[in-house]
Amino acid sequence: MENVDVVIVGSSVAGLMTAAYLKQQLPTLQVIVLGPSPEHERRPYVGESLVEPAALFMQEIGLRDYLNSTQMTKHGLSFYHKIKPDDPRDRRYSVHAPHRLHHTAWQLHRPDVDRALRARAAELGVRLVTGRMHDCEIGTAATGHRVHARVGESAVAFSCRWLIDATGRTRRIGKKVTTYTRPAERQRSCFWFWLADFEPFLPHLEITLRRPLAYDLWQTTHHFLGQGYWIWGIPLATRDHQRLISMGITLRPDLFSYPMRSLEDFLAMVDQQHPALGRMVRSGKVLDTNVYHEYLYWSDQAYSAEGWFLVGDAARAVDPLYSNGLSLTTVQAQQIAALIQRQREGVLGPGDVEAMDTVWRRFMAREQGDISRYYEVMQDPFQACLRRYWNVGGWFNAFLPLWWNGFFSVPLAARLLTRFFREQDPAVESAWRLFAQAAEALGPEPAPADFARVPELDWMINLRFDCPKEEVPKHLARAFWKRIRMRLALLRMERYRHVGEQLPALAREMALIFFLRCLFPWVGRRAFAALKPPLPRCAAVSARDYPAQADFQRPVKQAALRAH
């Protein structure tokens, strides 16, 4: 039996990302990835859109030039809110997308990108073993673990100190070492397909944007919203077709009243609500179709001090509304590397593993919880827009600066976060009520100009989150300042009828600003001193021009205009 440091079972994106990162950060570690070759892969592909953490991670491990030269650039997420969702003749959409982002990303043609990831992992010294695990024996930190595999015609066994499950939804190791929760309420189902050689939908919509974009709107990840569902369109780079797009629908079955198991079901639905999409699908060639029914789950434990870890879909399935599945995998790969390094150096403290596990789980639970409830207002253009601003404001102003500086991958900092960061955000209910009250004040059909009366996306997100650690408290405080500004703007819109209801939340947000600016750096001084950016190469590059591009720090002047 061959003995190695790490065996990763599963050779798709999560396994390869983790392997490449481990090898880059800890070059003397022996890492094996066990899984089928790309030609024998049987999993369905989505065609993922990347957001900041995963996009920067790919650059860190050396794939920037490859992605720039072969994949479709993604300038951000665009959201299409139909003004009269149930009227097939109404072609008006209020569209929201960032003016431009500091960190652009890519939309991945996964089969091609997985091959490039394999090649890069091998270049970094990862050993790729083509085969399948048929059993494993879970030991302890002292004894290690064993993996039994079939490689070609031979039976092969490995022993290892660390074992990582990256087997996706099959969760081959996860099912042995932990339990999984499947939410009984607010589940999610999806149907999707790849479409080639089609005529894009854009010319058939009447679109209102708040300002001209600094790029072609087509180069975004498109989201259409409606009653209990959203539809994605992810344009992909292709050598074999004139155009290619991954398109699909994610829905909450308890709120969505159409059957959704086939292309015919999809077309019947979009013909009623977004006829331009039906027209686009009929103009092209459908290459494949896939369905996941009620697919959400999460593991009750993802890391163990005994030396096993679950990563990617082996740890949890997510709702992909904000395209952050691979970004969560990025966070996990960094945490796993930090834990292995500490265990290897004999400095893993009691509670370190639990702190890392808890911090990503809390963040995910809060974000996914917000998304689950988001379906309840997706058909209401104004409310849906506001809730999203609120959520992405938290992502850009809080999560990203924290992640960038290592709050999720340094145990002391993870502990600090878990002290203050709860699974439920106590402020959301009052904010959501206010969004509903403001929407009601506007009436059933908001005018395009109404969307320009509230603080908007670019003001919420167009900032350099890749800040030095000393600036993190300022960024966090800014998140609450933006929330206050949003509440005040909405109160003005609904003529202060519900101001009393908002006062406790406003007072709390003011107090949090004070705490974050004045006390947090002192309370967390040991954690701040221990911080280490998880992407050191990217951090070195960004430090050279931060904050030179000052326009990313300032709100962009607002303007309403009609685009197409």
Ligand X SMILES: Cc1cc2nc3c(=O)[nH]c(=O)nc-3n(C[C@H](O)[C@H](O)[C@H](O)COP(=O)(O)OP(=O)(O)OC[C@H]3O[C@@H](n4cnc5c(N)ncnc54)[C@H](O)[C@@H]3O)c2cc1C
Tell me the C-alpha distance between 335 and 423, whole Å.
19
Residue spans of alpha helices (H) in 90-242: 110-123, 174-177
Radius of gyration of the chain (CA): 23
Query: Encoding tokens for residue 190?
Result: 């999806």
Q: How far is CA 426 from the centre of its chain?
A: 22
- Residue 294 region by backbone torsions, left for phi larger than 0, else alpha for psi between -120 and 50, else beta: left
x/- letters, 222..261, toward ligand X (CB under 6 A): --------------------------x-------------
Q: Exactly one of 6, 8, 14, 56 binds ligand X (CB under 6 A); which one? A: 14
- Tell me whether residue 23 or residue 453 sits nearer to ligand X (CB atom): 23
Q: Between the CA of residue 555 and those of 210, 294, 513, 559, what are the distances in Å? A: 14, 40, 19, 12
Residue 413's contacts (CB-CB under 8 Å, 6 or more residues apart) are: 406, 407, 524, 527, 528, 530, 531
Q: Exactly one of 19, 34, 217, 251 binds ligand X (CB under 6 A); which one? A: 34
Q: How far is the CB of 178 from ligand X (least distance, A)?
A: 16
Cα torsion at 19, 25, 29, 34 (round to 10°)? 0
Interface region with ligand X, contact rule CB under 6 A, candidates 49-57, 299-307, 345-353, 495-503: 49-57
Residue 345's contacts (CB-CB under 8 Å, 6 or more residues apart) are: none
By CB under 6 A, is residue 168 in contact with ligand X?
A: yes
By CB under 6 A, is residue 336 in contact with ligand X?
A: no
Reference 1, options 136, 138, 147; nearest CA is: 147
Find where tokens 């809080």 sit: 398
Give the interface size with ligand X as a residue count (CB under 6 A). Answer: 38
- Tell me whether residue 72 or residue 348 sits nearer to ligand X (CB atom): 72
Q: Exactly one of 6, 12, 337, 466 binds ligand X (CB under 6 A); which one? A: 12
x/- letters, 122..161, toward ligand X (CB under 6 A): ----------xx----------------------------
Reference 231, options 195, 182, 186; nearest CA is: 195
Interface region with ligand X, contact rule CB under 6 A, candidates 319-327, 451-459, 516-524, 537-545: 319-327
**Contact of 114 with 16, CB cutoff 8 Å:** yes
By CB under 6 A, is residue 53 in contact with ligand X?
A: no
Q: How far is the CB of 81 from ligand X (least distance, A)?
A: 20
Tell me the C-alpha distance between 485 and 555, whole Å.
13
Q: How far is the CB of 12 from ligand X (least distance, A)?
A: 3
- Tell me whether residue 49 or residue 391 sits nearer to ligand X (CB atom): 49
- Tell me whether residue 168 or residue 473 sits nearer to ligand X (CB atom): 168
Q: How far is the CB of 395 from ligand X (least distance, A)?
A: 13
By CB under 6 A, is residue 325 in contact with ligand X?
A: yes
**Contact of 11 with 121, CB cutoff 8 Å:** no
- Tell me whether residue 10 or residue 307 sits nearer to ligand X (CB atom): 10
Query: Phi and psi (nearest 5°) for 297?
Result: -160, 165
The single-letter code of the amino acid at 428 is V
- Tell me whether residue 259 or residue 351 sits nearer to ligand X (CB atom): 259
- Tell me whether residue 303 or residue 459 sits nearer to ligand X (CB atom): 303
Q: Exactly one of 36, 139, 253, 521 binds ligand X (CB under 6 A); which one? A: 36
DSSP secondary structure of 392-420: HHHIIIIIHHHHHHTTTTSHHHHHHHHHH
- Tell me whether residue 222 or residue 478 sits nearer to ligand X (CB atom): 222
* Sign for the pseudo-dihedral over CA of 118, 121, 125, 126: negative
By CB under 6 A, is residue 13 in contact with ligand X?
A: yes
Q: How far is the CB of 188 from ligand X (least distance, A)?
A: 9
- Tell me whether residue 293 or residue 492 sits nearer to ligand X (CB atom): 293
Q: Exactly one of 5, 41, 354, 425 binds ligand X (CB under 6 A); which one? A: 41
**Contact of 202 with 347, CB cutoff 8 Å:** no
Q: How far is the CB of 512 from ligand X (least distance, A)?
A: 30
By CB under 6 A, is residue 313 in contact with ligand X?
A: yes
Q: How far is the CB of 173 from ligand X (least distance, A)?
A: 9
Q: Exactly one of 6, 7, 8, 10 binds ligand X (CB under 6 A); which one? A: 10
Q: How far is the CB of 232 from ligand X (least distance, A)?
A: 7
Query: Encoding tokens for residue 554?
Result: 């300032």
By CB under 6 A, is residue 464 in contact with ligand X?
A: no
Q: How far is the CB of 326 from ligand X (least distance, A)?
A: 3
Query: Encoding tokens for residue 201?
Result: 């939908």
By CB under 6 A, is residue 112 in contact with ligand X?
A: no
Q: Exactly one of 6, 7, 9, 472 binds ligand X (CB under 6 A); which one? A: 9
Q: Exactly one of 81, 146, 172, 223 binds ligand X (CB under 6 A); which one? A: 172
Q: How far is the CB of 354 from ligand X (least distance, A)?
A: 23
Q: How far is the CB of 494 from ligand X (least distance, A)?
A: 35
Residue spans of alpha helices (H) in 28-170: 52-60, 64-70, 110-123
By CB under 6 A, is residue 320 in contact with ligand X?
A: yes
Strand residue runs (E) in 294-438: 298-299, 308-310
Reference 6, options 297, 237, 308, 291; nearest CA is: 308
Contact positions toward ligand X, by CB under 6 A?
A: 9-15, 34-36, 41, 43, 46, 48-50, 54, 132-133, 166-170, 172, 190, 192, 248, 292, 312-314, 320, 323-327
